[in-house]
Amino acid sequence: MPDDFLNLGAGSPFGLFGRGRPAHKTVLVAGGAGFVGSHLIDRLLANGHRVICLDNLSTGRLANIAAHAANERFTLIRQDVCDPIQIAGAVDEIFNLACPASPPKYQKDPVHTFRTSVIGAMNLLELARAKGARIFQASTSEVYGDPEVSLQSENYRGNVNTFGPRACYDEGKRAAETLFHDYHHQHGVEIRIARIFNTYGPRMCPDDGRVVSNFVVQALSGRDMTIHGDGSQTRSFCYVDDLVEGILRLMASAVSEPVNLGNPGEFTMAELAAIVREKTGTTARLVHRPLPTDDPRQRRPDISRARKALGWAPLVALSEGLDRTIAHFAAELGRPLPSRTEKVA
């Protein structure tokens, strides 16, 4: 990676059109070297925008954004979002994806995770206030905790333990939503909030620790596939391309209330393991481990608000998305691609 990849300039080169609005926007993506953030940057650059990626690379990877190193419309600022943020020139939109979503990674330094969610959000909100920018918050389905209702709609207030190993993330995201609400109502900042449900796809880290990457990496490596609990707990899996489309539609909308973004298709962990086993052709054993503390028993989004307000619903079926994800991990791990899995570009 060349040293000049860390280009710190931030002025916008684009002209104006229509009613004084920029023909192309200058967009800041905090956490842009991460799994979801890098896919979002791909779309923003493809749409002609100038993109500033702010990432401390604690969990994000340069490999995720390396394709844009020579793009004059792309800038990387290597910085922790908890530190004061100074950007020269105009910023039209800000996307806050700056917090690890992997339980093993966010639990490694829970105090910093909470600071990232709260202090980081405040720093970006202050920047949005100063620049007159619209700002997006990547919130999470974890704000619902271990839900007592299904489906989970945006009106459900959750069942969250404030005193446990997941609280640094769950409560940090809840506090960030409060900050967004208050900056909107007190300072007039334009906000957008997505409550993101389980997302998967290429560029997940092999050691991400979430169930899709765990199962796929274990299967491809011939290691035991670990199921926590009895495997009856459920998740709803949204392919990353569908999520990015929802994020962009939400940012372009007039919706300032939280919006669920996820795939309402619901699968047990045992069902997911069986699908991955079949697709990879693995002979790996299934072994059971204790269920982690506060691990939700069920997760399934009500996406009625997204359908109505954004005209959005996920399009990629789990089978198709897993084929693409398995192909990605096979290439990254240097493993032969399973013959039953289609190769993707």
**Of the listed 106, 169, 183, 239, which one is catalytic?**
169
Phi, psi values for residue 306, rounded to 5°: -65, -40
C-alpha span between 157 and 91 (Å, rounded):
33
C-alpha span between 307 and 85 (Å, rounded):
35
Tell which residue, 33, 9, 13, 32, has the closest CA to residue 23: 13
Quick one: how many helices (H) and strands (E) in the chain? Answer: 9, 15
Tell which residue, 217, 208, 212, has the closest CA to residue 236: 212
C-alpha span between 41 and 338 (Å, rounded):
30
- The number of C-alpha atoms within 13 Å of 27 and in the hemisphere containing its C-beta is 28
Burial of 187 (0-12, 13-18, 19+ CB in 10 A): exposed
Tell which residue, 248, 228, 254, 213, has the closest CA to residue 101: 213
Tokens matching residue 191: 């906000």
Residue found under tokens 């300072």: 187
Tokens matching residue 340: 């039953």
**Cβ neighbours of residue 169 closer than 8 Å, sequence gap 6 or more:** 99, 101, 103, 106, 107, 113, 117, 140, 142
144 is catalytic: no
C-alpha span between 139 and 36 (Å, rounded):
13
Q: Is the dihedral of CA 126, 129, 134, 140 positive or negative?
A: positive
**Cβ neighbours of residue 62 closer than 8 Å, sequence gap 6 or more:** 1, 5, 33
Residue 173, Cβ neighbours under 10 Å: how many? 27
Residues forming the active site? 169
